Amino acid sequence: MLVNKRLLQMTSGHRGPLFGVTALLCATTASYWLQAWFLAQALAALVLMAREPAAHDDGMYGPLVPYLVGVLACGVGRLVLQQLHARLASSLGSGVRLHVRRSLAHRLLQPERLRDTSERSGARRLALSEGVDGVDTYISQYIPHAFQLQIVVPALLLWIAWLNPLLALALALAVAVAVGAPKLWSKVLAKRGQHHWDSYEALSADFLEALQGMRTLKILHAVPRTRARLNNRSQQLHRATVSTMRTSLVDTALADFGIQAGLLAAAAMAAIAAMGQGPLAGPGSAGMTYFLLMLSSEVFRPVRDLARQWHAGYLGLSALGSIDAAGGADDGKPTPRWEGQQADSGLEKVHELATIHKAPTSPDDANALDRPETLTLDRVSFRYSDADPWVLHQASARIRRGGLTALAGVSGAGKSTLFDLLLGFLPVGENRIRLDGRPLRPSDVSVVSQRSYLFPGTIRENLRVVAPAASEAHFWSVLDAAGLGEELRQWPEGLDTVLSEGGGSVSGGQLQRLAIARALLVDRPVLLLDEPTSALNAELAGLVLAGLRRVSSQRIVLMIAHRPEALAAADTVLRLSEGQLLTTRQPEAATL
């Protein structure tokens, strides 16, 4: 079978255009046969004129004119057929592409799929883009050429057999080698093609996740490790590509061997006929000899075209497993993967990041955390450009360890900008922000933003990404401090609960508390939190704030806060207004 059955099923609603494209291909190929007859007769007439010039003194090249006109007419007709074929093939490909993408999008947007913890957006994006484009090429180009080969090659061989059975037998054997020999490598090529696609898919998924979680990766100081991982993925893809190309070259060599063997047999018979011997020899046989020689070459035109379209549509065949994984097969049976092959996931990436991370071993160690005393902002000024107003202008504050400090202010006052300055994302004057008298470094700060990113993997692995050597007991202690420990102990899988990409399989409040727990594991002197209770009810917010108060004895805790319970729990409130930081001891919730 020259055509993949699963991909052929995708043409079920487009059989009319598919048959039309195939018919146009067959007609185009037949035009070469007719052109071969005209050329053969023209060559025979030319040879005859050379042998008997006296018989054609008056007519000159008159006998050649009808045949040359026929050749020209075949060329013009073929050009028209090729234009019609290109348009209909494009229409067929567009129809299949839109149908497959619409079907995949519909299935991916089902509620149960959106919460599926095994999904990776990068892999699904690749299936929807390059994978579907490859299916388009396979269906609109390769399948019609495969059908054409199965129609026109047997028909042409029968025609040649009627004219010369021995030549037809030699050509049939050569076609069998050219078409059948590559099948010996089909399983190897398919396996390596699947490995190539899996490498491509893994790189795409990791790259998209790195972009989505770039802020988190930067905060966790995992950017160099992520860069190294992406480079490793690229090298794996390179090796898989080269391996596939090597196997493909063997496939091509086998096909070319069959083609060249057939052409050599035809040429040998033509040479024997030219010497007046063999089955093609005889009076008036020159035209037939030329014609059969040209037809012999035409037998292999569909074979060469099919080989060319195979390489063009190979991506669709390799992506079939990913497409079925993304949307499921129409018959409900996904395409099986090769034995021993495992679908890559974010679990491997998180585990790898955790394994090579060199953070302090565990906060259980008294020396793991350099206990700070004071974070000082000394006349900090910042604006985004000279034409913009000052976001901070000569702002000063002293934030001490041992209590909660809330940063309040109206929307747009510059609270997030101040956090970006503390994180080193925005430039600030030298020595303007100090920790116990020395310049604050980005590695001194951990942060929980409102849009924290959780990597696909288990809860345990998301925690290990920042503290690979932390004990099980410490995991639970930070989860308790984040107000999630008691709830998580009731979950069947506990720390081994698998999270979907971005934390989509948990609620907003659970994601927020997991992000807080992860930040507490980082063991850095300064902890920044952006609205840590925004997704929590009053009871859970109280648990989180109580946990933050406990950890504030070991690090400086600064949180952006608007909700009354957060402001009420703060020991100090820094109000940001008109670029200035105003310190109050009593929360002013009523005025915010």
Which of 2-6, 51-55, 125-129, 473-477 has the weakest average pLDDT?
Answer: 51-55
- Note the pLDDT tens digit of each residue in 412-425: 888 888 888 888 88
Task: Please report, for residues 42, 65, 71, 293, 363, the alpha-carbon distance to residue 46 in angstroms, rounded to integers and kept in the order given.
Answer: 6, 11, 15, 17, 96
**Confidence check: pLDDT of 23 > 60:** yes
Those residues whose C-beta lies under 8 Å from the C-beta of residue 359, and which sit 6 or more positions away, are 466, 467, 468, 522, 523
81 band by pLDDT with thresholds 50, 70 and 90 = very high
**Confidence check: pLDDT of 378 > 80:** yes
Q: What is the pLDDT of residue 357?
A: 39
Q: What is the pLDDT of residue 370?
A: 58
List domains and CATH numbers for the chain.
15-344 (1.20.1560.10), 374-591 (3.40.50.300)
**Confidence check: pLDDT of 403 > 50:** yes
180-188: average pLDDT:
67
C-alpha 373/C-alpha 371 separation (Å) is 7
179-200: average pLDDT:
70
Mean pLDDT of the chain: 75
Percentage of the chain with pLDDT > 70? 71
Q: What is the pLDDT of residue 325?
A: 65
Q: Which long-range contacts (CB under 8 A, 24 or more apart) does 565-571 make?
A: 565/533, 565/538, 565/541, 566/406, 566/531, 566/532, 566/533, 566/541, 567/406, 567/408, 567/592, 569/404, 569/542, 569/545, 570/403, 570/404, 570/405, 570/406, 571/403, 571/404, 571/405
- Note the pLDDT tens digit of each residue in 214-224: 766 666 666 77
Q: What is the pLDDT of residue 363?
A: 41
pTM of the model: 0.53
- Note the pLDDT tens digit of each residue in 245-294: 776 677 677 777 777 777 787 777 666 655 555 554 444 456 677 777 78
Question: Which ranges in 164-222 belong to alpha helices (H)?
Answer: 165-180, 186-212, 214-219
Which of 111-125, 133-147, 299-313 has the weakest average pLDDT?
Answer: 111-125
- Note the pLDDT tens digit of each residue in 299-339: 888 888 887 887 667 676 666 666 766 664 444 343 333 33
